[in-house]
Amino acid sequence: MTGELGLEVEMAGHIKHRTVDNAALPNITEDSVTWPCIQNLIRDCWAEANGEWKREEHAEEGAPYRGLLRTNTLAVKKEGLAKMLNEIGQAKFIDVMWDVYINWPCVAGQEAVVSRYNRKMLLNHGQKVDTEKTTWPLPFEGETNSITALMTQCGWNADQIGCLREQLFNLKEESGVHPDCSPESVCWPDLQQVFRSVVCEGEWSTENNVDWPPLDGRKVTLRLKILKDQIKQTLEGAYRMYCKPPGEDSEAFSYGLVIENVDVEAGTFEGRPRTEGKYEVKDGKIEYDEKTGRLCIRYDECWPGQVDHLFARVKSNAKFQCESEDGFEQKATNITRNLPDDPDDRVGENAKDGVKKYYLYDDDAAIDQATEV
């Protein structure tokens, strides 16, 4: 291949030294060198000579290093879904996937329990570990509420949908799709995995999430999708907050929060503590992205001598988790929607740990629900 590409012997030696002879790449041998490995090497060399590699600077048609983009995989040379995605183009495909995501029907009360791979284990460690998920599966065929109807609504034609079907079911092992995915039951993670398999060779990385945001299986889940007309009913209500400061010796605690007066158009909300005077809630702001259905909230918790600036992602099941750069675990759950009514099921001997933690050092709240509503 050296002669075919016009590479100097010295250059070929450098490539071999940084790939085949590189102890940090045990999967790369004289008998097995992958295209992504070559891409990574040349990108690294480019960055060493020119500074940071910025994808957008190389994405234009005709750019000399465009072939080094991670989206240019060997799979796009094949027939079928990979070739079709290459013809559509990355930008259009991403727009289509956001449309599919936002239009996927998620009707409360119509969830089903399915078995799929644990997304954290799959994406972080490459391990296929089964876990039960409560989600909204769809049949592949059908005039309404089906994958076919959904993809048609989002602009795909019959040939493109046929390519998707082939990859989902007949090339399931190659695609890495869960065995339980079938023409009768297709889940959103199945679509994400199929498309991940054709736009990426090798393990999926955080960089791939940046290039293909709808395929980020950790952050783009149906539970994180909330339609605009559902914001007020999702947010308002009484919550229990669980907090765990960083450090093995730190002690967790809990407290109550009530969110009210949500104004979607103004992007604001008000809040108060369960126990009057314990703290104040100020400057409640709503951040909503209609394209992705992502709902986040910001607010200040003003405690005596301390102000905590909180930012949280809200789930459609009326739970939210605050993001912390300091390792602080802080999450909330709506009492009426997610916690049992019986005080014994909240703090009694047989109460589940996942429930009991929301009443740590605040047993009175488990008994006196009336003050929280």
The Cα–Cα gap between 158 and 150 comes to 12
E strands present in the chain: 112-117, 130-135, 237-244, 253-263, 268-273, 280-289, 294-303, 306-314, 319-322, 329-334
The Cα–Cα gap between 83 and 331 comes to 43
The Cα–Cα gap between 308 and 330 comes to 12
Ramachandran quadrant class, 277 (left: phi over 0; alpha: psi -120 to 50; beta: rest): left
* 244-256: b (≥16 Cβ within 10 Å) or e: beeeeeeeeebbb
Is the Cα torsion angle 21, 25, 26, 28 positive or negative in sign? negative
The Cα–Cα gap between 221 and 128 comes to 18
How far the first Cα of the chain sits from its last, in Å, is 72
The Cα–Cα gap between 247 and 167 comes to 46
The Cα–Cα gap between 288 and 79 comes to 39
C-alpha 34, offset from chain centre: 28
pLDDT in tens, the chain (373 residues): 444 444 455 666 767 777 777 777 677 777 676 666 677 777 778 787 887 877 667 766 677 776 666 555 554 445 578 878 888 888 999 999 999 999 999 987 888 999 998 877 776 667 788 889 899 999 999 999 999 999 999 999 998 899 899 889 988 888 889 999 999 999 999 999 999 988 887 778 888 898 899 999 888 999 889 999 999 999 999 999 999 998 888 899 999 999 999 999 999 999 999 989 999 999 999 999 998 999 999 999 999 999 999 999 999 999 999 988 777 899 999 999 999 999 999 999 889 999 999 999 988 888 875 444 4
The Cα–Cα gap between 27 and 33 comes to 8
Residue 169 phi, psi (nearest 5): -110, -45
Opening angle at CA 153, ends 151 and 155, nearest 5: 70
Distances (CA, A) of 25 to 46, 124, 184: 20, 18, 41
